[in-house]
Amino acid sequence: MKICFFNVENLFLLDSPVGESLKKPIDKTLWIARTIKEIDADIIMLCEVGGLLSLDFFNSHFLNSEYKTALLPGNSNRGIEMGYLIKKSFPLDHLLIGHCNDSIEFNYPFEIEENKQLLEAGLGPKHTPHKFSRDISELRLYKNGKVALILLLVHLKSKWDRDGIDFNGSMRRKAELKALIKTYNQLKEEFGENVPIIVAGDMNGIAQKGQFEPEFEDLYQQSDLIDVLEVINLPHEQRLSFFYFSRENKREACQLDYIFLPRQLHPLVKKEESGIYLFRDPQGTPLGYPQESYQRYALPSDHYPVVACLDFL
């Protein structure tokens, strides 16, 4: 079984809820489709999709309707959603479950203080606990009527602090990560060791083992999840999945995109078929990582796909 996570950067193919300017250019859309065909995964987990209509349109007009689509709206204020493409030939049935209404049991410090003042004044709280910025998109896969595998797809809070209340979004992202791991452990307890649970997505931060940012502490202290790139011992310079160039053309590169595997799946990983998938030219030649801004903006997305191939099912 081969799975892939891919942040496709604003795949708005129909009317965008935030303006015409975000529509994906046709040349980049074709390149995204070509990349998906090249990877040839059984399940593609997508981030930054412009809703189910865009995903359906992409599947029917660019992928020859070779996939089943699955997407539930989340809490994004930009209209970017998470969704799945599942090969029609894939033998397992599926059920999609959303968690966008789950509480992440978090309030900003100023909200906690305001609630405290209101309580002292004999009034009710003004601020309720927040929910996920987007969602946990949970895909349950069934074999012979029983759950055989669960995928949890996420797009955690970005580092954009528009309101100046959470520098780099780290407090909110930490709370979302904590809630994600809590959900993971609850499902693990419910279904037991015979049902592996995979977590994948754009973490919007560095979550690599041994050098993770503080908000990802629970990932390693409260779960057995390990990044597939760590499992295959990929050199760190080959784990880059996101590139950004400032106005001064300063290059920033890091790994934001992950497929985390539970312990029982680690021995089943096919190393040669797993890793960061480099974009290719029309002749199929892999392109190197961008060194200049013009190279980056010529690519179909600012994120690279991550692939995990498993001797499973």
Q: What is the mean pLDDT of each run of 10 residues along the chain (313 residues)?
A: 97 68 86 98 97 95 98 94 98 98 98 96 96 98 97 97 94 98 98 96 97 97 98 97 92 97 98 98 96 95 98 90
CA atoms in the 13 A half-sphere facing the CB of 191: 18
Amino acid sitting at position 82:
M
pLDDT of residue 313: 81
Is residue 169 within 8 A of residue 157, CB to CB? The reply is yes
Please answer whether residues 151 and 138 qualify as being in contact, where contact means their C-beta atoms are separated by less than 8 angstroms.
Answer: yes
DSSP string of 126-185, one letter each residue: S-PPPB-SS-EEEEEEEETTEEEEEEEEEE---S--TTSSSGGGHHHHHHHHHHHHHHHH
pLDDT, residue 22, reads 62
pLDDT at 21: 53
- Measured CA distances, 233 to 26, 223, 237, 274 (Å): 36, 20, 11, 11
Report the half-sphere exposure of 203 (CA within 13 A, side-chain side).
28
Q: Which residues pair with 4 in a beta bridge?
A: 44, 307
Q: Which residue has the tokens 């660019």?
A: 62
What is the reported pTM?
0.96
Residue 78: the pLDDT is 87
CATH of 2-309, one of 3.40.50.1980, 3.60.10.10, 3.90.1150.10, 3.30.70.20: 3.60.10.10
| Partners of 153 in the β-ladder | 137, 200
Q: Give the SS3 label for residue 258.
A: strand
Which residue, among 208, 154, 203, 199, has the nearest Cα to 308 in the 3D structure? Answer: 199
